[in-house]
Amino acid sequence: MSTRAIQYLKQRKASFEVVQYEHLQKGAEFAAQATGVPLEQTIKTLVVDLGAGRHGLVLVPGDRQADMKRVARAYAAKRAEMVDAATAERLTGYHVGGISPFGVRQALPVLMDAVILSHATILINAGQRGTMLKMSPADICSGLGCLVADVSDG
């Protein structure tokens, strides 16, 4: 099993473990149930429009919602809003439900919700529905050069 995200991580000699499950529906809640990992440790990768032709990724725990005002502030943008599925897929090269922050088609800045760093390991999408990566949030943060800010509501 290899996705563009997994290849990206292998090239950088990153530490990760592949976790697969039967993908019956989209969403962090289903992924958490299927893998037995708590929802707060199952990370969603969101694609946002920051205006003026700028886009970015936002990593938030599965049990939280991104606060778009805080996302905009963290990115020093006037506004932030979720993009539609077609735009997310075009920018990342991944299908919605399988979007990974690793190996995206178009280089995008990554914003990590600060609460994620409180976990030793998390699950994050590997670029294909039903395939997750078990990783250290600190490794993700340093590997992607993430901005870190408190951007979610519990």
pLDDT tens-digit readout, 64-109:
999 999 999 999 999 999 999 999 999 999 999 999 999 999 999 9
Q: How far is CA 7 from CA 1, 45, 104, in A?
A: 10, 18, 11
Which is nearest to 21 in space by CA: 135, 104, 128, 136? 128
Mean confidence (pLDDT) of the chain: 96
Residue 25 has what pLDDT?
Answer: 86
Residue 49 has what pLDDT?
Answer: 98
Q: How far is CA 36 from CA 4, 27, 66, 116, 128, in A?
A: 25, 14, 23, 18, 19
CA atoms within 13 A on the CB side of 35: 29
Delineate the domains of the chain, giving CATH numbers in brackets: 4-153 (3.90.960.10)
Q: What angle do CA 64, 77, 46 make, to 5 degrees?
A: 35
